[in-house]
Amino acid sequence: MEPGRRYISNEELLEVLIENYAERVNRLAYTYVKSWQAAEDITQEVFVSCYKNLDSFRCDSSYKTWIFKITVNKCKDYLKSKWYKSFVPFDFRWTIIPGTIASPEEEVIEKNTHHTLSENVMSLPKKYREVIILYYYEDLNISEISKLTNINLETVKTRLRRAKALLRKKYEGVDENGE
């Protein structure tokens, strides 16, 4: 649910935005920078930027799309930085899909499946990984992804199709234990 704007202060609105989107912003940032520590720093920068620019929010899009756009831009700035270019990220542990598990055996299979999926998504080239994450895990539609990333609508569709094909190829021959 989008936070209302009429009856609350900027501080209260920021609190609602953080509550609703901080975890998703952090996860999205991680998909770009592949480091939880850097993703947390970027998440903080995103919400500082949100606070500074709340009065200039034009309501052309949802808060979610606006915040994700800021996140993508902050991540791109980070990846262009001199510091990042001298750093090799090593934190690739990421569980994408929370689930309910009925037995220890199912839990092992579920963790292995999530780990394999996570590794496969993270191993995609950035241009494909970006659309997969935004489409499947952040529930953005193709039009929103296009606006958010400044990529042509047809290009987003093509990247999504190619990303799915790459993931399908990675899963060919993988058994339920991820081997």
Angle at 24 between CA 20 and CA 25, to 5 degrees: 100
Same domain, residue pair 81 and 119? no
- Whether 161 is in a domain gets the answer yes
The answer for residues whose C-beta is within 8 angstroms of residue 137's C-beta and 6 or more apart is 27, 96
* Alpha carbon distance 62, 165 (integer Å): 30
Domain identity same for 125 and 163: yes
- Computed from CA positions of residues 101, 105, 111, 117, in that sequence, does the dihedral angle turn out positive or negative? negative
In this structure, what DSSP letter does residue 8 have?
A: S
The DSSP H or E segment spanning 167 is helix 153-171
Locate 66 and state its tokens.
Answer: 């606006």
| pLDDT of res. 2 | 52
Question: What tokens were used for 73?
Answer: 């831009």
Whether residue 34 is contained in a domain is answered as: yes
pLDDT tens string 26-71: 999 998 888 889 999 999 999 999 999 988 887 877 899 899 999 9
CA distance 179 to 169: 14
Task: Note whether residue 142 is domain-resident.
Answer: yes
pLDDT at 20: 94
Same-domain status, 69 and 131: no
**CA 24 to CA 137: how far, in whole Å?**
9
Backbone angles phi, psi at 82, to 5 degrees: -65, -40
Worst-scoring range by mean pLDDT, 3-7, 48-52, 89-93, 163-167? 89-93
Same domain, 15 and 77: yes
Considering the domain boundaries, does residue 177 fall inside one?
no
**Burial zone of 152 (CB within 10 Å; 0-12 exposed, 13-18 middle, 19+ buried):** exposed
Answering whether pTM is above 0.75, one says no
Q: Give yes or no for a contact between 171 and 124, defined as CB atoms under 8 angstroms apart.
A: no
The model's pLDDT over 103-160, given as tens digits with 9 standing for 90+, comes to: 665 555 555 565 567 778 888 888 898 888 888 877 889 998 898 888 999 999 999 9
pLDDT at 95 over 50: no
Query: Which pLDDT score is estimated for 113?
Result: 60
74 is a domain residue: yes
| Residue 22 pLDDT exceeds 80 | yes
Looking at residue 110, what is its pLDDT? 58
Q: Is there a single domain that holds both residue 42 and residue 76? A: yes
Q: List the domain range (segments joined by +) for residue 120.
A: 104-171
Verify that 78 and 113 share a domain, yes or no. no
**What CATH number has the domain bearing residue 118?**
1.10.10.10
Number of domains in the chain: 2
Q: Do residue 79 and residue 14 come from a single domain? A: yes
172 or 18, higher pLDDT: 18
- Residues 108 and 77 placed together within one structural domain of the fold: no
